[in-house]
Amino acid sequence: MRKYSGLLLILVLIFSALLMGCAATNQSSGNSNESASENDKGNKNTGKDVQISFGGSAPGGVYFYMVGVLANLLSEELPGINVTNVSTGASVANVIGIANGELDFGLTYGSLIKEAWNGTDTFKDQGEQKMIRGIAKAYESPHYFVAMKDSGITSMADLKGKKVSVGPPGSGAQYNTDIILNILGIDVKREFLSFADAGTALKEGRIDAFGQSGAPSGAVTELAETSDIVIIPFSDEEMDQLEKETGFYTTGQLKANTYKGIDQEIQMPMFTVYWIAHKDVDDETVEKILEVAMDENNRKTLVDGYPLWSELTPDIENFEKLGVPFHPGAVNYYNKNNLK
């Protein structure tokens, strides 16, 4: 009996030693892989399919359609790279998604990029977001307010006391609507509806107006096809006040016939929308993506899909005035092709 007990003890000791050895090997192997992964970031592809998440907006928003067109083109033209159009709350949510590593690319405003980098205003609670990098300027965007033609609303001052959808929570539309109403001292009853729901609510009389960034917007286009709408103009005095107090709005015009029934240019604030990336997106991947997006033949496909892609340009100088660097992969592409 004692002989068997001794044999059992020896077997237990041998088995324990083997387990400890395997654990040590696995731990060493895990640390090695983690280190290699960190060293590979931004340097080379692993040969596996590359999955890119591109933050757009909620359905009905300008970003949703723009990113959808670009994502389809890139996925078709680049074997091994799959680009997904991720539905988000738009500009603010896209910056947060990139900052958290949940998104690779996104569209957002220049003003938000500066705030995020410095950890101020919208991002004062999150702190400095130093993982943001520039890719390109997407387009110049207007911000405006939509009401029904029979509402009697013809000026920004007429919105006082009215029920206004400012946009989905965390969206660029909400960001701009809040800033503009606050600066102009216009108190409203705020609603937070999606772009599509805002159009329906306006048509049904549940709200009096809604704020919209970007044009043409799918939600506004759809509404204008079935209802008579008005786009509210900004006065010269209102534009002077917005330009002076923000430093990032400029005075622009919504082109006539952007929407059905709108046959004159309308004065409103404009701002810049940029395509940004997380700093760890692979350099070679960024170069390949820009080769496709900037190609003249492909540009026609993008513009046919959504006209605002006609404004796609590097705009390096203006972006760097925000104090934020461009992505190395984008810099490589622009230098090789003498683009600025």
Q: Please give the pLDDT value at position 61.
A: 86
Domain boundary among 269, 291, 311: 269
Beta-strand relationship, 105-109 and 189-191:
unpaired
Tokens 């009697």 correspond to 152
- Report the residue count for the chain: 340
Residue 209: name the closest of 239, 188, 237 by CA.
Answer: 188
Domain co-membership, 147 together with 126: no
The enclosing domain of 322 has a CATH number of: 3.40.190.10
Q: Please give the pLDDT value at position 79.
A: 93
Which residue type, as a one-letter code, is found at position 133? Answer: R
Q: Please give the pLDDT value at position 317.
A: 87
Half-sphere exposure of 225 (CA within 13 A, CB side): 8
Q: Of all helices (H) and strands (E), which one includes residue 147?
A: strand 132-148
Q: Please give the pLDDT value at position 9.
A: 36
- Is residue 125 domain-resident? yes
Domain co-membership, 256 together with 302: no
pLDDT by 10s per residue, the chain, length 340: 433 344 333 433 343 443 334 333 333 333 323 322 333 333 344 344 899 999 999 888 889 999 999 999 999 999 999 999 999 989 999 999 999 999 999 999 999 999 999 999 999 998 999 999 999 999 999 999 999 999 999 999 999 999 999 999 888 899 999 999 999 999 999 999 998 899 999 999 999 999 999 899 989 999 999 999 999 999 999 999 999 998 789 999 999 999 999 999 999 999 999 999 999 999 999 999 999 999 999 999 999 999 999 999 999 988 988 899 999 999 999 999 999 8
> 311 is in which domain, residue-wise?
50-140+273-336
250-264: per-residue pLDDT in tens?
999 999 999 999 999
268-306: per-residue pLDDT in tens?
999 999 999 999 999 999 999 999 999 999 999 999 999
Domain co-membership, 156 together with 216: yes
Q: Please give the pLDDT value at position 27.
A: 34
Q: Please give the pLDDT value at position 192.
A: 97
- Is residue 11 domain-resident? no
- Is residue 32 domain-resident? no
Domain co-membership, 230 together with 286: no
Domain co-membership, 184 together with 298: no
Domain co-membership, 171 together with 93: no
Taking the mean position of all CA atoms in its chain, how far away is CA 332?
23
Domain co-membership, 55 together with 119: yes
**N-terminal to C-terminal alpha carbon distance within the chain:** 86
Domain boundary among 234, 269, 304: 269
Domain boundary among 227, 252, 269: 269
- Is residue 90 domain-resident? yes
- Is residue 290 domain-resident? yes
- Is residue 198 domain-resident? yes
- Is residue 169 domain-resident? yes
Domain co-membership, 165 together with 240: yes
* Dist CA 145 CA 274 (whole Å): 22
Domain co-membership, 93 together with 150: no
Question: Tokens at residue 138, please?
Answer: 């997407």
- Is residue 64 domain-resident? yes
- Report the number of distinct structural domains present in the chain: 2
Q: Please give the pLDDT value at position 138.
A: 97
- Pair 23, 269: CB distance under 8 Å: no
